[in-house]
Amino acid sequence: MKNEITWSQETIDQFQIQFLAWYHRYKRNLPWRVNQDPYRIWISEIMLQQTRVDTVIDYYYRFMEKFPTIEQLAAAPEEELLKMWEGLGYYSRARNIQSAAKQIMERHQGQFPNTVEEISQLKGIGPYTTGAIASIAFGLPEPAIDGNIMRVVSRLFCIPEDIAKPSSRKVFDHYTRAILSPEEPGEMNQAFMDLGSAICTPKNPECEACPLQAFCQAYQEGNMTDFPVKTKKAKPKDVYYFAAAIENEQGEFWFEQREDQGLLAKMWHFPLEEVDQATFDQAYKQFQKEEIEQLSLIAEEEEQDPVLFDSLPVIWQTRHLGEVKHLFSHLRWHVLLFYGRTREAQAFENGQWIDKKAYEAYAFPKIQHKMWDEIAKNQKH
């Protein structure tokens, strides 16, 4: 392999001693670090994917209170699980952990597997999560290669490989294994996490406070911000929707449920109709009014009606409530929200009326919460 590690064993030993001493002194006090329970470590690691630590903590407490064991997680109704995950996003994570919990119950008699091979076979557990669980819960000398480790290690050795390429993981695995403490692999993996989060940050790293300063080649050469090497992600695709917040005389709103597969699977939200950008932009300007108008029924032949919803027996407010935006990993949603009322008692197609008091029983995506916020904001005016 190119760029073989040139550190002597003495240097590696000194690196481990200093790094672990720093970690034991400054490590973050996090609820999943109170013990080495693999179940708790697993849930925290899945929640932390694409999500900030301070956001995860409250979710973690609630989740562990609701599902304190693997058995209870495996047996939980999916709707209940999604409700507990509501707001964290990337809902496939929640479905995967339940699938993995069922695997553990069926294949391992409810006991979390304790080998790298068996852990990696669980649904939704990739190389990073395998390394984190194996090292932290079971003390196995397995690196947990995430963005923090790649950033720190790339600066330690000035590694030129692009971290956005999957093939580069082997390079970082090689370097990290060479310096990982065999006695405290879990502690060292967590030290990398904490260092990358607080000091060895992507921009403006605080090198003067870094315990690894003496070992860092990038620091010695003064080119810290050149690493890690990373190509830019493709920009998310913009998609446009009209949303219908339809309320009946009982104060219930009409909701539709997503399909069983795909983005936001089985989640509930206001009816959505996809439109092109030109239609979206035209409606945004046409129905944008400074004053709040009373509800008024617009005749079908008039071009002002929100055309995509003209088949519904609804009296529409003659202005939209605003644009709601939400960014997914590969998509950016633009949602133009319309509000209307109906006296129709029967159900429309493909959904159901839900009373506000019953919301706790349904799983709603973040975009739906944003639409509620927009309604609340308009009601204050």
In the chain, domain spans: 9-226, 237-380
In whole angstroms, what is the distance from residue 140 CA to residue 132 CA?
9
| pLDDT surpassing 50 at residue 297 | no
- On whether the CB atoms of residues 354 and 323 are closer than 8 A, the answer is no
Closest by CA to 243, choosing from 324, 336, 310, is 336
Give yes or no for a contact between 210 and 199, defined as CB atoms under 8 angstroms apart: yes
Half-sphere exposure of residue 364: CA atoms within 13 angstroms, side-chain side:
18
Does the structure show a pLDDT above 60 at 252?
yes
Taking phi over 0 as left and psi of -120 to 50 as alpha, with beta for the rest, 90 belongs to left
Residues taking part in catalysis: 45
Q: What is the mean pLDDT of residues 268-292?
A: 85
pLDDT, tens only, 97-106: 999 999 999 9
What's residue 294's pLDDT?
Answer: 41
Contact by Cβ (8 Å): 199, 205:
yes
Positive or negative torsion for Cα 352, 358, 361, 367: positive
- Token digits for 95? 């479905």
pLDDT for position 373: 93
Q: Which of 36-50, 177-191, 196-210, 331-345 has the lowest mean pLDDT?
A: 331-345
How confident is residue 61, by pLDDT bands cut at 50, 70 and 90?
A: very high
- 3-state helix, strand, coil split of the chain in percent (to 5) is 45, 15, 40
CA dihedral 18, 19, 25, 31 (to 10 degrees): -160
Is 237-380 CATH 1.10.10.10?
Answer: no
pLDDT at 1: 45
DSSP character string of 278-318 = HHHHHHHHHT--SSPPPB-PPPTTSTTS-GGGTTS--EEBS
Alpha helix positions (H), the chain:
9-26, 38-48, 53-66, 70-75, 78-85, 92-107, 116-120, 127-138, 147-157, 169-179, 185-198, 217-221, 277-286, 366-380
Closest CA to 116 of 131, 100, 104: 131
Mean pLDDT of 51-71: 96
Least confident of 231-235, 303-307, 325-329: 303-307
Q: What pLDDT score was predicted for residue 313?
A: 80
More confident: 15 or 286? 15
314 band by pLDDT with thresholds 50, 70 and 90: confident
Question: Minimum mean pLDDT among 29-38, 179-188, 268-277, 306-315: which range?
Answer: 306-315
Q: For position 260, what pLDDT does the model report?
A: 85
Q: Which fold has domain 9-226?
A: Endonuclease III; domain 1 (1.10.340)
How confident is the model at residue 2, as a pLDDT? 53
Tell me what pLDDT residue 296 has: 43
CA 296 to chain centre: 41
Model confidence over 127-142: pLDDT tens digits? Answer: 999 999 999 999 999 9
Nearest to 132 by CA among 282, 290, 62, 122: 122
Distance, in Å, from the CA atom of 243 to the CA atom of 346, rounded to the nearest integer, reads 20
Contacts with 47 (C-beta within 8 Å, 6 or more apart), sequence order: 56, 59, 60, 63, 88, 93
Question: In the structure, what pLDDT confidence band is assigned to residue 315 with cuts at 50, 70 and 90?
Answer: confident
* Site of tokens 């070992």: 215
| pLDDT at residue number 309 | 63
Amino acid identity for residue 358 in this structure? A
Give the pLDDT confidence score for residue 351 in this predicted structure: 87
**pLDDT at residue 39 tops 60:** yes
- What is the residue-averaged pLDDT of the chain? 90
pLDDT, mean of residues 363-373: 94
Reported confidence tier of residue 381, pLDDT bands at 50, 70, 90: low
